[in-house]
A = this chain, B = another copy of it.
């Protein structure tokens, strides 16, 4: 791959100076912002993530803030997940759909108060959809992107590191809940969440000016824990079945195709813009769905485009993320497979840039 050219349009983050000092070797662009992809090597980062603790610059998880009397109503218009039971202090993973039921994003909604929400977005300008809906329906709500940049702390030693900086109370934060904690006199929301299966937190850093002080404080506090700069790890997130919007799903897909039916309450999510479109698929199920796929043979190359999957010469699906897993000694992959071929153990052929590879549909992800 080629180099990425400097441009203000590809935004730096409050933590970019720290990321560069830590020797970042690769980036992607996510929400028009730099997102590190590799420090030592993808495999070395992976082993370290599973045994120690990493600090991740995920400022590219931009926030869409909803404020005002209609904030809750607007939030429910965006998603087929029923939000009526959600309390301030909770985080919900919410599929966001358009009027056809197509996925526009798969963010985490953070309920700060009855009339104030953050939507911590995946890679699409969800702000524009939310602003358009708020304007078109003349809702009484302010919608904008605040100066909030998430910093993730991930890995089995996350609790120990976080407790040293924020106090032992942070250990009590439950999964997909958040609490308010103070750093340098500023109140920050800290949630137990993150884009790995190794445990950890996401700190919603409000105000870019405290980005590097917080980065440095975490680094200094965790030297004996072997804390390092890290980033979402391709291998680990495929093993864990963590989907990537734009890779594993697009606006062509319904939440049910993405295996996110358990986050949809289509019948009771009254007001959701995509509800009508999703009622049938919610009842009858999708004709294709996300699956874990085991690809045989040596290490596959980087998956930078769709890899078609075949059975008996017919196209029956596609792989969209793949990587060699050192722990499972196979190529782990995520793909979308048609109903006729998605049962556990079904043999497929995957067309990779290196040629056809035998592959097997799995029932579950690896970790």
Contacts and interface: CB of A to CB of B under 8 A. Distances in A.
B29 A304 contact: no
A3 B29 contact: no
A25 B9 contact: no
Interface in A45-62: none
Q: Is the interface of A mostly helix, strand, loop or mixed?
A: loop
Interface in A34-91: 37-38
Interface residues of A, number: 51
30 contacts: A2-B26, A2-B27, A3-B4, A4-B27, A4-B28, A5-B27, A5-B38, A5-B302, A6-B303, A6-B304, A7-B28, A7-B303, A8-B246, A8-B304, A10-B28, A10-B29, A29-B29, A32-B123, A98-B135, A99-B131, A99-B135, A104-B128, A128-B129, A129-B129, A130-B132, A132-B132, A132-B133, A133-B136, A135-B136, A136-B136
Contacts of A6: 1, 301-304
A187 interface: no
Given A3-B27, A136-B133, A273-B135, A8 B305 contact: yes
Nearest to A320: B8
Contacts of A29: 4, 10, 28-29, 32
Interface in A236-263: 244-247
A232 to B, nearest CB: 11
A194 to B, nearest CB: 19
Q: Which of A126, A130, A132 has the largest count of B CB atoms less than 10 A from its CB?
A: A132
A198 B6 CA distance: 24
Contact of A3 (B3, B8, B30): B3
Given A2-B4, A8-B247, A126 B128 contact: yes
Contacts of A123: 9, 32
